Amino acid sequence: MDSLLLMSELVGQIKAAARAIGFEVAGIASVEPLALDNIAFQQWSDAGFAAGMYYMTRRPELHAHPCALVPYARSVITLAVDYYHTYAPAFEHEHRYGRVARYAWGLDYHDVVKPRLQALVSKIEQLVARPIHARCFVDAVPLLERAVAASAGLGFFGKNTNLLQSQSGSWFFLSEILLDLDLPADNRQVKVSCGTCRRCMDACPTDAFPAPYQLDSRKCISYLTIENKGEIPRDLRTALGDWIFGCDVCQDVCPFNRFAKDTRWPELHPEAGTGPRIDLVELLSITTDEEFRSRFRGTPLARPKRRGLLRNAAVVAANIGATATVPTLIERIESEPEPLIRSHSLWALGQLDSRRGAAIAERALKCDPDGSVREEAEMVLSL
């Protein structure tokens, strides 16, 4: 009993230290396999819903087995970091900006959260008065981290597949520390649910939820604009609206998110990164990978690389009627070495200026060496 009491006190001290370091919520999870969650994940993957995210299915033995990932692990500390911010500035020339998902307004959370996890490990070593073996993860390993967090009471699954907290919603990042301390697991499943609400499903611009608690990544705007390495399907392009990087629609409409408070982490504030909007003309004018990396280094927007983000910019330009981008789109079509950018720029030009679009499509059909660009030219000419 004394030993159990001491461990319980230690857990309380660890959670207090986590809050002092900046984590909003901390929980202790078991390292036991997550059998049911693994079955659900496998069914999701088998249905093709992982789309092109092959890295998610590459190491299936790790998904539900913390000890397969870290053999010496005896428990998991799972932690949440709020990233919500109400920042909503007015923009001149609103019709030339693409919108960025809220999680990406500040600096890259992977880089921001990891040092604080390591600081917590150091604090735990002080508390137990000995070195410990631990590994820290921020959304970078195959572990089913939402399932781990849910098992420790950090939230419940919403119909939009996000983990929700009844008091603050879903605007938070998850991270984990797998360590060699045998801490008592919280084992407090949250009993709250979405009930009959289906606002997220009804609001999704691309109908990416085939059923409650299921997401088809092939239709998800966040997947299409970030993880997708190829073209954006033509039948989904207009549905992107002004979302140039990610999408927040299913979170914006969630009733639980009305309780969200601004993050305490200055690194996640919009002033620290790119903020909520990106100028399309400026973005489409970036001509080299070096310039792109310099512009977006240290932010989540570096993820899709220049080819992906400029692809997105072309689609958004067409969707919002950004005629100011027409000269830059023509430049991209005529001098851009990346076929993915050329093809999407050609599509956008055809939407924005059918006369010039047709003229340039004629030239592309005759001269462009890439089949996907010539195919896009044929589509423009058929309009």
154 Cβ contact list (under 8 Å, min separation 6): 25, 27, 78, 80, 163, 165, 174, 190
> Are 229 and 163 members of one domain?
no
The SS3 call for residue 77 is strand
In this prediction, residue 1 carries a pLDDT of 37
Provide the residue count of the chain: 383
356 Cβ contact list (under 8 Å, min separation 6): 326, 330, 349
- Which entry of 139, 182, 207, 289 is annotated as an active-site residue? 139
> Are 308 and 232 members of one domain?
yes
Given a cut of 80, whether residue 93 has pLDDT beyond it is no
The pLDDT tens digits of the residues spanning 331-382 come to 999 999 999 999 999 999 999 999 999 999 999 999 999 999 999 999 999 9
Q: Identify the DSSP state of 30.
A: -
How distant, in Å, are the alpha carbons of 51, 213, 243, 269 from that of 44?
10, 10, 25, 34
The answer to whether 144 touches 176, Cβ cutoff 8 Å, is no
Cα–Cα dist 110/125, whole Å: 23
Q: Looking at the domain assignment, is residue 186 inside a domain?
A: no
Q: Looking at the domain assignment, is residue 218 inside a domain?
A: yes
Residue 192 tokens read as: 């709250």
- Domain end point (choices 144, 179, 214): 179
> Are 327 and 218 members of one domain?
yes
- Domain end point (choices 150, 179, 208): 179
Given a cut of 70, whether residue 4 has pLDDT beyond it is no
> Are 143 and 246 members of one domain?
no
> Are 162 and 204 members of one domain?
no
Number of domains in the chain: 2
Q: Looking at the domain assignment, is residue 222 inside a domain?
A: yes
Quote the Cα angle for 280-53-118, to 5°: 85
> Are 238 and 322 members of one domain?
yes
Per-residue confidence at 186, pLDDT binned at 50, 70, 90? Answer: very high
Q: Looking at the domain assignment, is residue 362 inside a domain?
A: yes
> Are 243 and 334 members of one domain?
yes
> Are 305 and 237 members of one domain?
yes
Range of the structural domain that residue 313 is part of: 199-260+274-382
Residue type, 375: E
Closest CA to 80 of 192, 197, 167: 167
The pLDDT tens digits of the residues spanning 254-298 come to 999 999 999 999 999 999 999 999 999 999 999 999 999 999 999
Quote the Cα angle for 359-364-370, to 5°: 160
Parallel, antiparallel, or unpaired for β 243-245 and 97-100?
parallel
Residue 244 tokens read as: 């140039």
Report how far Cα 284 is from the mean position of its chain's Cα atoms.
22
Q: Looking at the domain assignment, is residue 354 inside a domain?
A: yes
- Active-site annotation holds for 82: no
